[in-house]
Structures are given as structure tokens and as C-alpha cells.
Amino acid sequence: MQRTGTIFKRKARKKGGKATWWARVIYVDPKTGKLHDLQRRATSKAHAGDVRDALLRDVDNTDGQAVKTERMTFQDLCDYFERHYVKAAEYIEGRKVSGVRSLATAKGQLSALKGHFGGRRLRSITHGDVRLFRAARLKQKTRSAGQRSIASVNRELSMLRRMFNVAQREGWIIRNPFAAGDSLISLADEKKRERILTREEEAALLSQCESTSRTHLRGILICALDTGMRQGEIFSLRWRDVDFETGILSIQAFHTKTMKERQVALTGRLTSVLETLRASAPDNLNGRVFGIHDNVKRSFAAARKGAGLEDVRFHDLRHTAATRLVGAHLPLPEVGRILGHTQANTTYRYVNANIETAKRAASALDAFNDTAEILETSPATGAVN
């Protein structure tokens, strides 16, 4: 790239005023061929040299693109990111090629970032600024006046990191602030859920679904407990995905988190539920099995409250299914395939040691200790020839 850098002293404009030092960089944009003349005021001769060198580095590292956008704000980046990335997911041949699966969640995360950094100059945001944002968000209560979780703040930080990656690729910043210090996203600090339902709790929850206003919920809960499917996968299930003859449910790729199709088998009680629903459903294979398009927050909240299980989340039903499968001695890799996991570590996070498991472990150790005591108290015997 053609460029030159100099410093010079400019005379005072007014009589009695002081002369000022300036840094100057002239370069030709390699993309457009346009000549740019950058001048920045400095506080001293030495400072002017530093400013000149910084401008030259920016020009060299980004082919002059970062210098042209040095006044760009974080709001400008948000507008660009929302326009190109925060949009409804688009699929080709069952694969997501652009957009996000949960548009409302992504927009909420972007709104939080925009509210904090908004009018800040994009290139002025440092690693320390991001650290302060994390601390501020953790102290900020949720809309229900609850404690904001580390996991939710980590998701916002992940979006912020991606936004800075985009800005760096476009030449708007020289370096991503996340790369300028210690890691700001710690998955190890996230609270791991260890809540699974006992048989008694399951019965209490399902008993709350006997009223006509919640009959749809009962089938959804049984589906979650007997297949380990995610909530979105259950809502997206269509009658063409149900094969009563083979007893198999097919979960389509574009409805799964990992974008891979998988099959799960029907249990007896789930088959009964689905046959009842099919008998009264319109003759349309594309129709949704449970007739739900968004969520069951209200009915589920009322059911768990009535059952005295207000600490139970819908996702805990998936944890429960995984734990029961492992308790039935199904190999962990097979459990992972049923749940739709691509990595074994993910499956480990879903399998919790319930009370029965803990008691079995204690019994095994008791047996070991009893054997050790017998050996210690038994009389010594002679050596065996």
C-alpha cells in the first residue's frame, strides 16, 4: 500500500497563541484508489510521533479500512449485526444456513448489549469495559426480581464476542477486546441443574393435567419424560413424523439443536396418548401432533404449582429421562444418541445421581468396608505352598 507518515508543527492561528504539533498520514485506498489525508492533533512532538505510528499501523493492518471507521459507534455495529445476523433462521435441505433459531432470545441479548455500550466509540471499548459489563449484568435483577444467572450473562458475552469478531473481519477494529486479557466467559462457573423427578413427583404433576384446560399438557409431559425430547422438538412434531406401525418418532434435522435427524421409540403409554390424539385430529399429516406453536408456560406453571413442584423446569423432564435411561443400564453413548448429543461430555451433564443412585453407592462401599473388616479380624493363616 502506498502511504507516508510525517509530523509537523502548525503556527498559531491567533496572535499570542501557541503552535501545535500534528501527525499526518497520506495513503491510497487499495480498494478504491482514492487518496486519503489523515491529520490528528497531538499534545507534543513526541505525542505526534506516537499518533503517526499508530495511524500507520492501523492503515497497514486493515488496508486503511479501520481508519475510515474510527468514529464508528457500538450502535452502528449493533445495526449491522441485527441486519445481517439476528434474523429468522433460513434452512436449505434441512440445514440452517443463516439466522438464529431463537430470534426473540437473540434480540433480547442484543438489546442488553446495546443498552450498555450504545453510543460508545467501537474502537474505544476495552477488555476492562467488557469485564465491567459482566459485573454489572450479574448485579442487575431479572424482570421477576430474581438473581440473573451466570449462564444467561455468558450467552450475552458470547454474542458480544461474535460481534467483535465480525467487526474485526470487516476491518472496523484492530483487535477483539476479548483477546486482550483473561477469558471472560467461564462455563465452569455456570450452575449445573441437578433436579430430576421421582415417580411420586411425576404422578403428582400428571394428576394436575386432568382438567379439560390442561389435557394437552399431559401428553406433552409424557412425551418429554418418555423420549427426552427438547421442548421445541416436541412442539414441532408433526403426524408425518409418527410411525405407529414401527413405534418410532422421527425428529427432523431442522427442529433439532444439533441439526441432525434422529429417531426415538414410543413407549406404551406414549403410544396410547398419541393414538387418542390422532383419533380426534384432522386428516392432515402436516398438522402438529400437540397443536402447540409457541410454549406452555402458563399451563405448566399452574400444574407444577398445584403439584407442589415450583422448582421444576420443563427442561428437567429431559434430565429425568436421561437419568432413568442410565439407571436402566443403557450405555451412555446410546443415551447420548437418543437425546441427540454429539459429544459424550454433554450427556454426562444431563445424567444426575439421584437418591437411589447415591444409596446404591453407599451400599457398595458398605459391602467393601465389611469385607475389609473381616479380613483384618480373621486369624493369620500359613503360607500356601
| DSSP letters spanning 20-52 | EEEEEEEEE-TTT--EEEEEEEESSHHHHHHHH
pLDDT, average across residues 229-247: 89
Amino acid at 171: G
Q: How confident is the model at residue 383 (pLDDT cuts 50, 70, 90)?
A: very low
Asked which of 140-149, 277-286, 350-359 is least confident by mean pLDDT, the reply is 350-359
Query: CA-CA distances (angstroms) from residue 295 to 290, 291, 332, 340?
Result: 11, 11, 30, 21
CA distance 324 to 330: 9
In percent, the amount of the chain with pLDDT more than 70 equals 83
Query: CA-CA distances (angstroms) from residue 16 to 11, 12, 45, 133?
Result: 11, 8, 20, 46
Instruction: Quote the cell numbers at residue 135.
Output: 459485573
Residue 354 pLDDT > 60: no
Instruction: Specify the length of the chain in residues.
Output: 385
Would you give the distance in Å from CA 363 to the centre of its chain?
Answer: 39
What pLDDT is recorded for position 275? 93
What pLDDT is recorded for position 6? 94
What pLDDT is recorded for position 267? 87
Residue 380 pLDDT > 80: no
Q: How confident is the model at residue 384 (pLDDT cuts 50, 70, 90)?
A: very low
Cβ-based burial of 299 (10 A; exposed 0-12, middle 13-18, buried ≥19): buried
Span(s) in the chain for CATH 1.10.443.10: 199-356
CA distance 155 to 200: 35
Q: Taking a C-beta distance cutoff of 8 angstroms, is the pair 251, 229 a contact? A: yes
Asked which of 114-118, 222-226, 289-293 is least confident by mean pLDDT, the reply is 289-293
| Fold classified for 199-356 | hpI Integrase; Chain A (1.10.443)
Residue 69 pLDDT > 80: no
Asked which of 132-136, 179-183, 261-265 is least confident by mean pLDDT, the reply is 261-265
Average pLDDT, the chain: 83
Q: Taking a C-beta distance cutoff of 8 angstroms, is the pair 311, 303 a contact? A: no
What pLDDT is recorded for position 357? 59
pTM above 0.85, yes or no: no
pLDDT, average across residues 162-189: 86
Residue 162 pLDDT > 90: yes
Q: Which residue has the higher pLDDT, 187 or 269?
A: 269
Asked which of 78-82, 149-153, 332-336 is least confident by mean pLDDT, the reply is 332-336
Residue 117 pLDDT > 90: yes
CA distance 364 to 360: 6
What pLDDT is recorded for position 186? 79
Architecture of domain 74-189: Orthogonal Bundle (1.10)
What pLDDT is recorded for position 202? 92
Span(s) in the chain for CATH 1.10.150: 74-189
Residue 382 pLDDT > 70: no
CATH class held by domain 3-68: alpha beta
Radius of gyration in angstroms for the set of CA atoms belonging to the chain, rounded to a whole number: 31
Instruction: Quote the cell numbers at residue 118.
Output: 450504545
Span(s) in the chain for CATH 3.30.160: 3-68
In percent, the amount of the chain with pLDDT more than 90 equals 32
Helix (H, G, I), strand (E, B) or coil at 89: coil
